[in-house]
Structure 1
Amino acid sequence: MIRKTALLIVDAQTGIVDGPAIGPVFQNAALVTTIKKVRKEAWKRAIPVLYVQDTDVAEAGADAFAIHPELAPLPTETVVLKQSTDAFHGTDLHDQLQLLEINHLVITGCKTEYCVDSACRRATTLGYDVTLVRDGHSTTDNAVLAAEQIIAHHNACLHGLGNIDPFILVRDSTEDLFTPTHDTYR
């Protein structure tokens, strides 16, 4: 099967990445650098980049609502607004990806245990193979675990997780993320 890839940047909004109310996420500067590097490679390869923006972060137009300025989309790139943790629920994200004939998603963004996790899992049930960028997602501490533990836990739990056939691989940003390796495991 021919694989066609897109990069999905989930909720990399100023209010989450930098805070103060919802963030800042763990190692926020490193996260921004990693996402920029991955996105630059996508642009270099003419791979579509889509952004998901959570409407619950702040009022539309507020600085906290905006996608982080270092990650701001190009005018030609798709931004999908969502109201739930699931980037596909109640949005046209799946339709947008189908129009592009995408069957492999590289996923980065915030917050690990909520919107990133939901996007990864739901994508597999919709038929997409997923590559989660190991060092390309982040979160904040909670009452039980430190952010670093949450990230490590999700990298371990999501690696290899599948629904019937499509599944998730967790790979480092130093790898060739846009050449999927899923078929070598089938």
Structure 2
Amino acid sequence: MSHHPPSRAALIVVDVQRAFDEWEAAGKRRNNPEAVARIVDLLSAFRSHEAPIFHIRHEGSRPNSAFLPGGTGYPVKDEARELAGEPVIVKRVNSAFIGTDLERQLRAADIKTLVICGATTNHCVETTTRMAGNLGFDARLVRDATWTFDRIGPDGDAHSAEDIHAMTLANLDGEFARIVTTAGVIAAFKPA
């Protein structure tokens, strides 16, 4: 982030909602157990430098969605709750740019760099990151501040959360985003 002052960089916190805790409690296995703690670190750094933060919430539309408004999985996790003045963007698809005014708000604030974190790496985080890159933003995906879950592929093959996470980062790196760490993002706020 060194070539953009913090006022031109924004933190995008994607879907840090309680539904993922419920998935874990039901036996789904995830990677990166420290991701939420790293998100808290990022929130703290951006807040202490008065840099913009945008909170993204997924609102499910299918009757069995864990993200239905009013349901137990919809609320944000307490650690990542927004503060007064921090916008909350509600999306109904994987990308935070589709059906929302996120791009308009970013352009109006002359924000060039997006630091993206949240859940899940290979769904809403990936889709939002791909679109950010395609829209011309300098996207930075924070590898240790996102996570995903084990999945079964279309041929019945089991894929670990670690492998899915790593492949998603590899797919995005260079073309759509730079892959960074929480420590690296925080260090960029410090004067040279």
Instruction: Give distance in 2, aligned partners of 1:108 and 1:136.
Output: 5
Rate the CA distance shift 1:41–1:25 in 2: closer, same or farther, 3 A.
same
Tell me the equivalent position of 2:155: none
> Which amino acid is 1:42 matched to?
F
Q: Name the CA distance, whole Å, in 2 between partners of 1:24 and 1:40.
A: 28
Shift of 1:27: 3.7
- 2:77 and 2:54 map into 1 onto residues whose CA distance is 14
Counterpart for residue 15 of structure 1: 19
SS in 2 for 1:174: helix
For residue 120 of structure 1, the aligned residue among 97, 119, 129 is 129
Cα deviation digits, residues 92-126 of structure 1 (max 9, x gap): 11111112111110000001111111011101111
CA–CA distance in 2 between the matches of 1:24 and 1:9? Answer: 22
Secondary structure class of the residue paired with 2:123:
helix
What's the C-alpha RMSD, in Å, of the aligned pairs?
A: 2.1
Change (3 A) 1:65 1:93: same
- Cα distance, 1:24–1:66 mapped onto 2, change above 3 Å: farther
Instruction: Return 93-102 or 169-178, whichever deviates more.
Output: 169-178
Contact 1:15-1:65 at 8 Å conserved across structures: yes
Structure 2 distance, partners of 1:157, 1:68, is 28
1:183 corresponds to: none
Once residues 96 and 70 of structure 1 are traced to their aligned partners in structure 2, the CA distance between those partners, rounded to angstroms, is 25
Distance 1:152 1:67 in 2: 25
1:152 alignment partner in structure 2:
166
Match of 2:63 in 1: none
2:37 aligned partner, one-letter code: T
Partners in 2 of 1:24 and 1:146 — Cα distance? 9
The alignment's TM-score, normalised by the length of structure 2, stands at 0.83
Matched pairs, number: 174
User: In 2, distance between residues paired with 1:96 and 1:21?
Assistant: 37
Distance 1:127 1:77 in 2: 23
3-state secondary structure, aligned to 1:46 = coil
Deviations 1:9-59 (A, max 9, x none): 00111112453469664344x111010001111111111110111101422
| Structure 1: runs of 5 or more not aligned | 163-167, 181-186
Query: CA contact under 8 A between 2:32 and 2:144: conserved in structure 1?
Result: no
Residues 131-161 of structure 1 show CA distances to partners (whole Å, capped at 9, x for unaligned) of 1001111111001311111111112221111
Note if contact 2:28-2:150 (Cα within 8 Å) is conserved in structure 1: no
Selected match of 1:43 from 44, 47, 50: 47
- Measured in 1, the distance between the counterparts of 2:180 and 2:11 equals 14
Shift of the 61–24 alpha-carbon distance from structure 1 to 2, 3 Å rule, reads farther
Structure 2 residue aligned with 1:136: 145
